Amino acid sequence: MSRQMTGAEMVIQALKDQGVEVLFGYPGGSVLPIYDEIFKQNQIRHVLVRHEQGAVHAAEGYARSTGKVGAVLVTSGPGATNAVTGLADAMMDSIPVVCISGQVPTHLIGNDAFQECDTVGVTRPCTKHNWLVKKIEDLPRVLHEAFHVAKSGRPGPVVVDIPKDIQFALGAYVGPKNIQHKTYRPKVKGDMDAIRHAVNMMGKAHRPVFYTGGGVVNSGPAASKLLRELVKLTGFPITSTLMGLGAYPANDEMFLGMLGMHGTLEANMAMHDADLLVCVGARFDDRITGRIDAFAPHAKKIHIDIDPSSINKIIKVDCPIVGDVGHVLEDMLRVWKSVQPTIDKPALDAWWGKIAGWRAKKCLSYRASDKLIKPQYAIERLYEATRGHDTYITTEVGQHQMWAAQFFRFDEPNRWMTSGGLGTMGYGIPAAVGVQMAHPDSLVVDIAGEASVMMTMQEISTAVQYRLPIKIFILNNHYMGMVRQWQELLHGGRYSESYSEALPDFVKLADAFGGVGIRCEKPGDLDGAIAEMISVKRPVIFDCIVDPAENCFPMIPSGKAHNEMLFGEAVGDIGSIIDEKGKMLV
Amino acid sequence: MNTSHYPSAYVVEQQETHTLSVIVDNEPGVLARVVGLFSGRGYNIESLTVSETEHEAHVSRITIVTTGTPMVIEQIKNQLDRLVPVHRVVDLTVSAKVLARELALIKVKGKGEARVEALRLADAFRARIVDANTESFVFELTGRGDKIDEFVNLMRPLGLVEYSRTGVAAISRGPDAM
């Protein structure tokens, strides 16, 4: 059964056995034996990134758009430390990534050898688990365990650190079958009593709201279908976190839009006035809750989460259900259908009436202009132009990200790749590379800001090399917009170091990289330019010059409650609204 | 400063002390994971004791005494349980039948009446003499933490030189395993 092979061969064999098709990596001294094995085979495609951070983000984009595990290969020392930001990002957003790193030979570990670093030590807090493999006998088991840990339970990144002598050592390879972990067995089925209790609470609710998150997306497309069914069945309104967008169709009338700091009025007010929150795969992040002591003050709370440590971490809930969203929703639907709770229809109608009132305020309105391109307008036009295409969106981090979340309407899960938890500027381009590798014929757009793209723009070179026609749609306002917005609101308009000085000419830059550059400065030219961008089957940098003064609203200032939102018109007196305590929370 | 028209939901919760038993796979770095979790998330460690308890199965028992609000204690348990090499986490304080002991080695130097008094107190505390010469003693004392505190405080005026203690080992009463 078991075959003799070297450690390096085992790595490639294990990747194949785990169904890996694409590997994002960068070679170096301590992974050369593995690269030699990559050279000898054709099954796994290796994508040579330009920086290891890009490799992890690309793997994240690949993972999030496919539901599979993303695979990364980096060398020791700087290879591993460069990957840390990506790993921390995947950790915060629960993205399954297996990162294999080379290490100096075992006899040199601890000697400050060339390109040595304590990789397991450095990555311990930003991975779900990690391993340093010091014996060839352990290697096959650890490799398969790594995939199991990365994808099961609450997904996350893992690191397998393999010293170079282990890559050369001979041993017996064992396949992935019959590997059951000694200690790690996440619970996927929810407790039925808790589910019945939850259904009972839902049946009695007068002002309920579903608050859903990335857990629905992570649970797989079936969970999204079940969620849609449950929402239809109950008639409850639904809002979503940044991470959960697409799990429920944004164009459906039951959907209130995103909630939280830059969420819609209707979503945040519904959260604030609700008497029941049904939290499905979300984690009460501080961007969602605002002021903890004023968060959903009248609501009973049901919380479905696969990670017990997410429950009662920030907000105490009344009905915790530990389990995989898909499994729990399935059981919940079954119980709901058999119990057939008698919903107080007039109360629910009155609740929808209240929501209609908030909706009527049209909180996302902005002042249109025929001289300057408003960033919101640019995203609206991009959205319209991409309808009918098989579209995937990645983003960087900042104002453009929030505008994308507000104005780009996702109807399906796995279409929206954004750095939510860690907030990593520079995520979008490499993530788009990963998405396009998985979906070569789809339209992949990175909605970006000009400051963020400067952080990882070397990956445009990767896109060109692999003929990946990603579109980098830059909302160029010549500022780190979100930083500038906070400085305007909190620091007396002192724009300390937030101006994007000495920007490159993005059109020439695209040309220099071997892509296509398009610039658009007038609202009237926008539709034509976007159409051109979509029609070009090469990597595109789209330099969309937008109104530099535009701020992202609505907004719950730090330290404020859901019912203390600011809107576009309130810009003038916003400074006095955030108190000293709020400044600390930024 | 509560600027909202809602009453503050913050109730100042009492800090509690809990003794946790954490059964882990004795793999490299497991202690670093546990300790890193506490430092990374800002939890307290009052006492930490680690030793392999099932040699064949490579299983270790980590006993942690920690303080926090009930919500934080629950978080600590859940966060520990989430670590991949952790078999299980048991809060021994919840059962209220916890047996917790520490061992201390206490060096006392003195002559005359102080030396005699130290010996007398050691006898009263059932401390054993494990090293003795004409100038000093080393006492070995086992007991609850407060008993050791008390003994050490009594030794201070009698010539306490230094002492070393193990941290808490704990187990539940009765016939059942945790």
pLDDT score, position B3: 44
Range of the domain at A463: 375-545
How far is the C-alpha of A260 from the C-alpha of A310, rounded, in Å? Answer: 18
How far is the C-alpha of A456 from the C-alpha of A397, rounded, in Å? Answer: 12
User: Could you tell me if B78 lies within 8 Å of chain A, comparing CB atoms?
Assistant: yes
Least confident of A19-23, A57-61, A476-480, A577-581: A577-581
Least confident of A323-332, A440-449, A562-571: A562-571
- From the list A354, A345, A334, A350, the residue with the least C-alpha distance to A198 is A334
Q: If pLDDT is split at 50, 70 and 90, which confidence band does B4 have? A: very low
In terms of domains, do A211 and A134 share one?
A: no
Using the 3D structure, point to which of A173, A204, A236 is the last residue of a domain.
A173
Q: What percent of chain A has pLDDT over 70?
A: 96
In terms of domains, do A382 and A503 share one?
A: yes
Question: Which tens digits make up the pLDDT trace of A257-300?
Answer: 999 999 999 999 999 999 999 999 999 999 999 889 999 999 99
pLDDT score, position A579: 57
In terms of domains, do A415 and A476 share one?
A: yes
In terms of domains, do A316 and A432 share one?
A: no
- What's the maximum distance between 2 C-alpha atoms anywhere in chain B? 73
What is the enclosing helix (H) or strand (E) of A93?
A: helix A78-93
How far is the C-alpha of A195 from the C-alpha of A199, rounded, in Å? Answer: 6
In terms of domains, do A233 and A356 share one?
A: yes
Mean pLDDT of A182-206: 95
How is residue A243 annotated by DSSP? T
Looking at the domain assignment, is residue A440 inside a domain? yes
Q: Which residue of B has its CA nearest to A309?
A: B78
Using the 3D structure, point to which of A337, A360, A383 is the last residue of a domain.
A360
What is the enclosing helix (H) or strand (E) of A517?
A: strand A516-520
Q: Which residue of B has its CA nearest to A577?
A: B3
Put simply, the answer to whether A309 touches B87 (Cβ < 8 Å) is no
Q: Which pair of structure tokens corresponds to residue A136? A: 């060839």
For residue A307, count other CB atoms closer than 10 A to its CB.
21
Q: Which residues of B touch A120 (CB under 8 A)?
A: 29
Put simply, the answer to whether A149 touches B84 (Cβ < 8 Å) is yes
In terms of domains, do A154 and A235 share one?
A: no
Q: What is the CATH number of the domain that holds A444?
A: 3.40.50.970
Using the 3D structure, point to which of A360, A392, A408 is the last residue of a domain.
A360
Looking at the domain assignment, is residue A180 inside a domain? no
Cis omega (within 30 of 0) for bond into A249: no
Number of domains in chain A: 3
- Report CA-CA distances (Å) from A204 to A180, A194, A197, A342: 43, 16, 11, 8
In terms of domains, do A20 and A112 share one?
A: yes
In terms of domains, do A335 and A208 share one?
A: yes
Q: What is the DSSP string of A401-452?
A: HHHHHHHS---STT-EE---SS--TT-HHHHHHHHHHH-TTSEEEEEEEHHH
- Report CA-CA distances (Å) from A151 to A66, A94, A155: 12, 9, 5
Q: Which residue of B has its CA nearest to A146?
A: B84
Put simply, the answer to whether A312 touches B75 (Cβ < 8 Å) is yes
Q: Nearest CB to B8: which of A184, A293, A316?
A: A293
Judge whether residue A578 has pLDDT over 60.
no
Radius of gyration, alpha carbons of chain B? 21
In terms of domains, do A243 and A152 share one?
A: no
Question: Which tens digits make up the pLDDT trace of A155-172?
Answer: 999 999 999 999 999 999
* Domains, in order of start, for chain B: 16-96 (3.30.70.260), 99-172 (3.30.70.1150)
Q: Nearest CB to A125: which of B24, B40, B78?
A: B40
Question: Which tens digits make up the pLDDT trace of A84-117?
Answer: 999 999 999 999 999 999 999 999 999 999 999 9
Q: What is the mean pLDDT of chain A?
A: 95
- Rounded to the nearest angstrom, the minimum Cα separation between A183 and chain B is 5
User: Could you tell me if B75 lies within 8 Å of chain A, comparing CB atoms?
Assistant: yes
Are B101 and B169 in contact, with CB atoms under 8 Å apart?
Answer: yes
pLDDT score, position A310: 96
In terms of domains, do A431 and A490 share one?
A: yes
Judge whether residue A522 has pLDDT over 90.
yes
Question: Which tens digits make up the pLDDT trace of B129-141?
Answer: 999 999 999 999 9
Are B13 and B19 in contact, with CB atoms under 8 Å apart?
Answer: no
Q: Who wins on pLDDT, B2 or A349? A: A349
Looking at the domain assignment, is residue A183 inside a domain? no
A–B: how many Cβ contacts below 8 A?
A: 63
- Rounded to the nearest angstrom, the minimum Cα separation between A436 and chain B is 33
Looking at the domain assignment, is residue A581 inside a domain? no
Looking at the domain assignment, is residue A319 inside a domain? yes
Judge whether residue A76 has pLDDT over 90.
yes
Q: Which pair of structure tokens corresponds to residue A552? A: 């992202």
How far is the C-alpha of B162 from the C-alpha of A32, rounded, in Å? Answer: 54
Q: If pLDDT is split at 50, 70 and 90, which confidence band does A546 have? A: very high
Q: Which pair of structure tokens corresponds to residue A122? A: 């450095």
How far is the C-alpha of A284 from the C-alpha of A296, rounded, in Å? Answer: 11
Q: If pLDDT is split at 50, 70 and 90, which confidence band does B10 have? A: low
Q: What is the DSSP string of A324-380?
A: -HHHHHHHHHHHHHHH-----HHHHHHHHHHHHHHHHT-TT-----SSSB-HHHHHH
Least confident of A186-190, A236-240, A514-518, B172-176: B172-176
In terms of domains, do A34 and A154 share one?
A: yes
Return the active site residues of A: 52, 114-115, 164, 482
pLDDT score, position A179: 67
Q: If pLDDT is split at 50, 70 and 90, which confidence band does A557 have? A: confident
Looking at the domain assignment, is residue A148 inside a domain? yes
Q: If pLDDT is split at 50, 70 and 90, which confidence band does A178 have? A: low
How far is the C-alpha of A41 from the C-alpha of A131, rounded, in Å? Answer: 26
Judge whether residue B9 has pLDDT over 80.
no
In terms of domains, do A69 and A206 share one?
A: no
Q: Nearest CB to A294: which of B4, B84, B87?
A: B4
Q: What is the CATH number of the domain that holds A303?
A: 3.40.50.1220
Q: Which residues of B touch A129 (CB under 8 A)?
A: 83-85
Q: If pLDDT is split at 50, 70 and 90, which confidence band does B12 have? A: low
Percentages helix, strand, coil for chain A (3-state, rounded to 5) are 45, 20, 40
Q: Which residues of A touch B74 (CB under 8 A)?
A: 312
Looking at the domain assignment, is residue A569 inside a domain? no
- Rounded to the nearest angstrom, the minimum Cα separation between A232 and chain B is 33
Q: Which residue of A has its CA nearest to B41?
A: A125
Mutation for B interface: A183, A284, A563, most B CBs within 10 A: A183
Looking at the domain assignment, is residue A161 inside a domain? yes
Mean pLDDT of A193-220: 98
